[in-house]
Structure 1
Amino acid sequence: MTEAGEGRVGGEAETLDDRSRRPDWFHRGHPVFFPLAGFFTGMVAVIVVPGLYAAIIKWVAGYKRVEELFPFVLLMFVVPIGLLVPQHTRRFGRYMLLGMVATVLVVVGVGATVVWFLLNKDA
């Protein structure tokens, strides 16, 4: 980026375009773009992929087959692990895996707390 006023004659004021121009790194080069995108991609993957997988298998093969094939949904964890291999996708893959694991831990923790609370309330 050039310094303000460089290439200007006399005391020319900077134009509106110069003042409102975003930095070159604003979108994809921003330091938090890949961590946020990876984390939320992991969250969405954990929430959407199992339900979509079960719905498609049930539609194609029936309910009994879904019960047999549902454990294969854990293969979705291969995607972020595979992203850890190449250097240029490593950061995104690391945060995607973090988002997936954090979402699973939160869902399991909240579910266990609710079950514990309901069982203790009735006792």
Structure 2
Amino acid sequence: MNDLIGAPEADEDAPSAERSRRPDWFHRGHPVFFPLAGFFTGMVGVIVVPGTFAAVLQGIAGTDRAEQLFPFLLLVLVIPIGLIVPRRTRRFGRYLLLGMVSTVVVVGGVGAAVLWWLLNHGG
């Protein structure tokens, strides 16, 4: 089975810790791991969290109350700001904030461009 994925077979003499070691390509310490994870977490946070929050709130409290409580969703912005403060999570927090802001800018820009085109060229 190991030959199919290109990994060398483990020796019978090797200690069990050496055999259970992660593959060489899996590096959480790689310089690109935290920026990519933070950026895409920010994208998911901007896209999925508001929709889920609204759906759950509407299901529990009804449409009128959900509309009143929806501004509390802005508390999600506290997460990247809170991650930027400690030195250990600062890099992840910056990329999380970058992912959130860039997603909002792209979605807003594309929405504005489509609306402009529809108003000027729609029949």
Give the corresponding residue for 1:49: 49
Unaligned runs of 5+ in 1: 1-15
SS of structure 1 residue aligned to 2:85: coil
Q: Deviations over 1:53-98 (max 9, x none)?
A: 0011101100011111111111111100000111110000000000
Give structure 1 regions of 4+ aligned residues with deviation exceeding 3 angstroms: none
- Aligned residue pair count: 104
Q: Percent identity?
A: 67
Report the Cα distance in structure 1 between the residues aligned to 2:43 and 2:121, rounded to whole angstroms: 31
Report the Cα distance in structure 2 between the residues aligned to 1:121 and 1:27, rounded to whole angstroms: 51
Report the Cα distance in structure 2 between the residues aligned to 1:112 and 1:122, rounded to whole angstroms: 14
- Matching residue within 15, 21, 24 for 1:22: 24
Pairing of 1:65-104 with structure 2 (within 5 A): 65-104=65-104
Report the Cα distance in structure 2 between the residues aligned to 1:51 and 1:82, rounded to whole angstroms: 23
RMSD: 1.7
Normalised by the size of structure 1, how large is the TM-score? 0.79
Larger Rg: 1
Report the Cα distance in structure 2 between the residues aligned to 1:30 and 1:40, rounded to whole angstroms: 16
By how many angstroms is 1:121 displaced?
A: 1.2
SS of structure 2 residue aligned to 1:87: coil
Give the corresponding residue for 2:107: 107
Report the Cα distance in structure 1 between the residues aligned to 2:57 and 2:114, rounded to whole angstroms: 30
Pairing of 1:26-45 with structure 2 (within 5 A): 26-45=26-45
Give the corresponding residue for 2:63: 63
* Paired amino acid for 1:22: D
Q: Deviations over 1:17-75 (max 9, x none)?
A: 6xxx627xx42100100000000000000000000000111011000111111111111
